[in-house]
Structures are given as structure tokens and as C-alpha cells.
Amino acid sequence: MLRYVYADQLNQCPRLKDEMFTHRADQFRTRLGWDVSVDARGHERDEYDALNPLYVIWETAEGGHGGSTRFLPTTGPVMANDHFAHLVSTPIRSPLIWECTPFCMAPGQGPNVAAALMLGGGELMNGFSIRHFVGVFDARMVRIHCRVGSSPEVLGSTGEVRGKDATGLALDFGSSIWRPRTASQRVQVSRRR
């Protein structure tokens, strides 16, 4: 099942918390070779985890971490504006545009988990009137997003992110699965006018 958890609520689900940060280290440092910081517990964390972000976590049937992503509104500090000004024309700011981090997948999890996380993103869009997600993804993640039906768009040209090729993206979670609801919201807006 999908869980929506703020950082200050993570202690209520200790297994998900521990596994999420461990799997992030597995994925971003070990598998992708990014220059990220991993602490003594084997957890990958950065300064944005300290800003009480919202995590969307796929909890497996056994109660473990299947995959996750992290959201922060672009009204505050976000990676895309702070570190990737060479990729996108920054700063991008709006309470209706949130940053979404590259999906972290637990080892052995397939595209179905990425699809579930996309669904989570779509729920956030519908529930909180978010218009766009932006993020900085590597080329491999772009392929994953394409496979599960989102249509990421390249905001900026490729460049170096933590020693690896990266691309700044606007993610359109409103495509395919979510298009009908997005369309109905538009109808209401135009009716109101």
C-alpha cells in the first residue's frame, strides 16, 4: 500500500524509515555511483531530509520498503533550484509546483512499484491542486518514467550531477492515468469563470 509520511512521522514506522534510507544508499551510491553522503548506519540522507519533506512510500505486503520518493514545495529550498541552476532556468517557485526526487526502488522491485509511486504523485496533484512536479533525474530514471506512463519533459540540457550525467525535468504526472481527473478540474475552473 501507499503511505504518505512526513519526516517527523517516520519514527511511527521505524522499519520503513530504516529500509528507505538504506535502499537510497544502495541505489544512489552503490548502484548509480552518485557522490552522496551515507552515515554510519548505512543511511543516505541530505540536507533536504531535514526540512520535514513529505515521503510517498510503497509498503510491501510484508511491511517493508518497496520504493519511495520525496516531495518538497518549490517555495522553499529544493535541489533543482539550489544545485542545478545550470540545468534549468531558476529559480522555479510556486506552491503549485513541487519537487519530486528520483524514485528509490528496493532491490528486486519492478516497474509496478514505480507505477504505484506515480499514482501517489497523481493523488497529491489532485488533492492539493499541484500543477507540476520538477526534479533532477538521470537518464535511466527517465526511461523508467516513460515505461510507467508519465511523460517527463526535459527542462534543461544534460549536465553533471554528483559526478554523473543528469537531466532537469518537469514531470507530467497528469498524463494517461490521471488525465480524466485533471480534465474535470479544468472544467470546474472554467465554469467558475
Partner 1 sequence: MLVTLDNLESLLSALEQSDSLEGMQRVIEALRAHYGVAHLVYHWVDSRGDQYGCGTYSDAWRQKYLDETYLRIDPVVQGCYQRFHPVDWKRLDWSSKAAREFAKVAAEYGVGNQGFSIPIRGPNGQFALFTVNDTCDDRTWAGFTQSNRRDLILIAHYFNEKALEFEPARQPGQQQPLSPREVDAMTLIAVGYSRAQIADRLSISEHTLRVYIESARFKLGALNTTHAVARAMSRGLIVV
**Interacting residue ranges for partner 1, rule: CB under 8 A:** 6, 8, 52, 54, 72-76, 89-97, 124, 127-129, 131-132, 134, 151, 153-155, 170, 172, 188-189, 192-193
- Please, what is the minimum distance in Å from the beta carbon of residue 173 to partner 1? 11
Q: Which is nearer to partner 1, 17 or 132 (CB)?
A: 132
Q: Tell the smallest beta-carbon distance from residue 189 to partner 1 (Å).
A: 7
Handedness of CA 83, 87, 90, 96 (dihedral sign): negative
The least distance separating partner 1 from the CB of residue 188, rounded to whole angstroms, comes to 6
Tell me how far, at minimum, the Cβ of 87 lies from partner 1, in Å. 12
How far apart are CB 11 and partner 1 at their closest, in Å? 14
How many beta carbons lie within 10 A of that of residue 191, not counting itself?
A: 7
509511486: which residue's cell? 117
CA-based nearest residue to 130, from 181, 60, 66: 181
Q: How far apart are CA 30 and CA 32, in angstroms?
A: 6
Q: Could you give the 3-state DSSP secondary structure of residue 136? A: strand
Q: Which is nearer to partner 1, 63 or 77 (CB)?
A: 77
73 or 149, CB closer to partner 1?
73
Q: How many CB atoms lie within 10 A of CB 108?
A: 7
Q: How far is the CB of 159 from partner 1 (least distance, A)?
A: 16
53 versus 67: smaller Cβ distance to partner 1:
53
Question: Parallel, antiparallel, or unpaired for β 132-137 and 97-100?
Answer: parallel
The residues near 56 (Cβ < 8 Å, ≥ 6 apart) are 2, 3, 4, 68, 69, 70, 71, 117, 120, 121, 124
Q: How many CB atoms lie within 10 A of CB 119?
A: 17
User: For residues 16 and 87, which CB has a smaller minimum distance to partner 1 in the complex?
Assistant: 87
Residue 61 or 187 having the CB closest to partner 1: 187
